[in-house]
Amino acid sequence: MSQVPGLGPEYLYVKTVVAKAQSIEDDIRAVLAQYTEDETTIKLFQATKLTRFLPAGEEFTNPSQVERAAYRLFVEGLSAVMNSLPEQAVTLYKPYALIPIIRDVELIVRRAQRGEKIPSRDELFWPENKLVQEALRLTEEGINDPVQVLRRLGLSVAYDVLVAARSAEALSTALDIELMKAFSKALGVAETELGRELIGGRLDILAAKTMYSLIEMKPARQVIDTYLKYLAAYKLSSREIRNVVESFDQEQAKRLLTSSWYGNLSENLGTLEGFIAKVRKHLRPIAKKIFTWEPVMNDPVVGLAELLLLDAEDSVIIALLAYSRQPKQRVTDLVSL
């Protein structure tokens, strides 16, 4: 990404408002209104803004096709502002851009490690990205050790965690902690309360996910120490998360999330998924509000990224749950609408 000298937040605001038109919130509401507990729901996405990213002229009932289309639209929205960011907005933008990159890198690395066929461009979220292209190049050259790939890509936090874990099974958690570090930096430069609320919500989601992952993994002390080095949260208590992770106490983890600032969780969901759903529902109205309230700050770039990310996640939730024939109430509980 590059910065254009002399451009400020006013110019960025215009760019974000234009890119905001790519939000598919109305499309998602329409699909949800017609939701049926089968593959028919997935086909409804052909009548949304995702259609140009879906296989042309093909019958499709696979939720992975919706997932790729949704994240490609997310990437397109990010790309609309990528090359015109004021310098101070880069740190705000970076963690969101890292999300599809990390997903692609993980897919490439896992395929290479298992000796499977390297993903094609059609399977990736952001095949044009330089880090994704470098990951492909490394695996094509026969470098299939996840630790070495992460080091070569400069994903230093994930590298530290994976070295400490001494197991590729920790790859997803290591990459989540890489994201946590990026969102933590963004929180430090956010200029408004709404911007901090959006970034902080994502931090709390990542903190909760990694907390549960480590409870399940029960890794060596060195992994815990590495995790705690990068641990960051917003409305969740870092001290309480530390206590949970050091004791592997699942009941304490449950109490932490059910009693959080975000409020009561849905009784129809598990604790972690209920917490994530609650945070995401909290973030959507803020992502829309920030465009009206903060036009002369850099934080609207966070609003744009969060809004498009929520759209992508909601699309995947609907497609996956329809495919697995889940009741509509469960979908309603999970989406951010």
- Flag whether 33 is in a domain: yes
Q: Is the pTM of this model over 0.85?
A: yes
- Expressed as residue numbers, the domain containing 94 is 9-334
Per-residue pLDDT at 1? 46
The span from the CA of 258 to the CA of 219, in Å, is 25
The span from the CA of 219 to the CA of 228, in Å, is 13
The span from the CA of 210 to the CA of 214, in Å, is 6
> What secondary structure letter does DSSP report for 138?
H
| DSSP element (H, E) containing 331 | helix 328-334
Other C-beta atoms lying within 10 Å of the C-beta of residue 215: 16
- Flag whether 94 is in a domain: yes
Per-residue pLDDT at 206? 96
- Flag whether 1 is in a domain: no
- Flag whether 105 is in a domain: yes
Per-residue pLDDT at 3? 45
Per-residue pLDDT at 295? 57
The span from the CA of 337 to the CA of 335, in Å, is 6
Per-residue pLDDT at 18? 66
Nearest to 176 by CA among 215, 204, 145, 148: 204
N residues, the chain: 337
Interacting residues of 255 by C-beta distance below 8 A, sequence separation 6+: none
Other C-beta atoms lying within 10 Å of the C-beta of residue 263: 10
* The two three-digit tokens of residue 333, written as one number: 């509980």
C-alpha distances in angstroms, 192 versus 33, 183, 213, 297? 35, 15, 32, 8
Per-residue pLDDT at 286? 93
**How many domains does the chain fold into?**
1
- Flag whether 3 is in a domain: no
- Flag whether 2 is in a domain: no
What torsion do the CA atoms of 92, 96, 97, 98 make, to the nearest 10 degrees? 110
The residue to which tokens 């979908």 are assigned: 331
- Flag whether 209 is in a domain: yes
Per-residue pLDDT at 2? 45
Per-residue pLDDT at 158? 94
State the helix-helix crossing angle for 238-247 and 250-258, rounded to 10 degrees.
160
Other C-beta atoms lying within 10 Å of the C-beta of residue 103: 18
* The two three-digit tokens of residue 328, written as one number: 């509509």
Nearest to 118 by CA among 145, 137, 98: 137
- How would you write the pLDDT of the chain (337 residues) with one tens digit per residue? 444 444 555 556 666 766 677 889 999 999 999 999 888 899 999 999 999 898 876 667 789 999 999 999 999 999 887 777 777 788 999 999 999 999 999 999 999 888 888 898 889 999 999 999 999 999 989 888 899 999 999 999 999 999 998 888 889 999 999 999 999 999 999 989 999 999 999 999 999 999 999 999 898 888 899 999 999 999 999 999 999 999 999 999 999 999 888 888 888 889 999 999 999 999 999 998 887 765 557 888 899 899 999 999 999 999 999 999 999 999 999 999 9
- Flag whether 4 is in a domain: no
